[in-house]
Homo-oligomer: A and B are copies of this chain.
Amino acid sequence: MLVLRKPYLLYLGDAQLKSDCKTAFGLRDWCREDVLGEWSHPAASVTLEVPRLAPAAAAAQGAGSIIVGVAPTGGVLPARWQDDLEAALEAGLDVVSGLHTRLTSFPRLVRAAERRGVRLVDVRHLNPSFPVASGRKRTGLRVLTVGTDCALGKKYTALALTRALAARGAPATFRATGQTGLMIAGSGIAMDALVADFLAGAAEALSPDNAPDHWDVIEGQGSIFHPAYAGVTVGLLHGSQPDAIVLCHDPARLTIEEYPNYPIPPLGEVIADYLRLGRLTNRAIRCVGLSINSSALADAAWAEYRTGLERELGLPACDPMRGGVGALADRLLAP
């Protein structure tokens, strides 16, 4: 499993739009304690409102890595950014990127990294090898966030749930399965880049044996109802062997995004189907509740939707952005 060197310096290039810097904002919001500061090209107008630090100054304060926290248009890394990243390498920092363009495709960065004995980490292109899944039951407790679709809050929910468990004194670890989650956690496995035969094996490696009362809170991927990605979802589900799942959903999403012929089934069916598949590797799997992205609903509509859902399914429904996920943590910890 990849382990990143913390703390981080976040690099914003010459970003003009906050929306191009989702990675940097995500890191600031979810691992603020691991962020020493930000650095950017002079032309940048976006700021994270954290201390501005040149790479050498960040290194002097103990930084381990500079994270490319901005996505350039077209995914190509401009030459002027390479000056900044080379300076970071010279200062002794690893450079970490989730861009399509590989850092290792720039000879000057490769040379600088070799010269200084530091790493170029292309999170999107990692292809580590894992054993085939054993199916062996592991010690410790696991909860996996699953979804009706992609991109509707599985990472956010897992991060919020990890905090809610910790706030209740329960030992809990967030387990990252995607690029941004991996940067936040500092370690993890990008499931979608794995060779297919090792999906479940990698998921097993991600949440190893642990103390009996320890919760691994595993970031879900994709959906079993997604015509392209269900294989990844199933491999992660089986390898995770979750004791519990939380179903993430956006009520404004009536079909799989960009697949208008693929309707999202009723949530009761969704939960039953996830539990049926999950039982293969954990007979005791249960659903502890729903995490709803309610941003499309005004307060009264959300209250009504939530009440109806809770009555229909007999499970708590939360929005991590609107009241938090305390009810899900309580349900996980209930005897």
Contacts and interface: CB of A to CB of B under 8 A. Distances in A.
B228 A197 contact: yes
Contacts of A134: 227-228
A244 interface: no
Given A194-B195, A224-B234, 20 more contacts: A74-B132, A132-B228, A133-B227, A133-B228, A135-B228, A135-B262, A193-B195, A193-B196, A195-B195, A196-B199, A196-B235, A197-B228, A197-B232, A200-B229, A200-B230, A225-B280, A227-B238, A230-B235, A230-B238, A232-B235
A308 to B, nearest CB: 26
Contacts of A322: none
A188 interface: no
A191 interface: yes
A97 to B, nearest CB: 15
Contact of A231 (B73, B131, B199, B227): B199
A281 interface: yes
7 contacts: A191-B196, A196-B196, A196-B235, A197-B232, A224-B234, A230-B280, A231-B233
Contact of A229 (B197, B230, B259): B197
Contacts of A192: 195-197
B135 A200 contact: no
A276 interface: yes
Interface centre among A74, A191, A197, A277 (most CB of B within 10 A): A197
Nearest to A228: B133
A64 interface: no
A268 to B, nearest CB: 15
B197 A281 contact: no
A299 interface: no
Nearest to A133: B228
Nearest to A241: B227
A114 interface: no
Interface string A168-191: 000000000000000000000001
Interface string A118-148: 0000000000000111111000000000000
Contacts of A29: none
A235 B227 CA distance: 8
A177 to B, nearest CB: 11
Contacts of A228: 132-135, 197, 200-201, 238
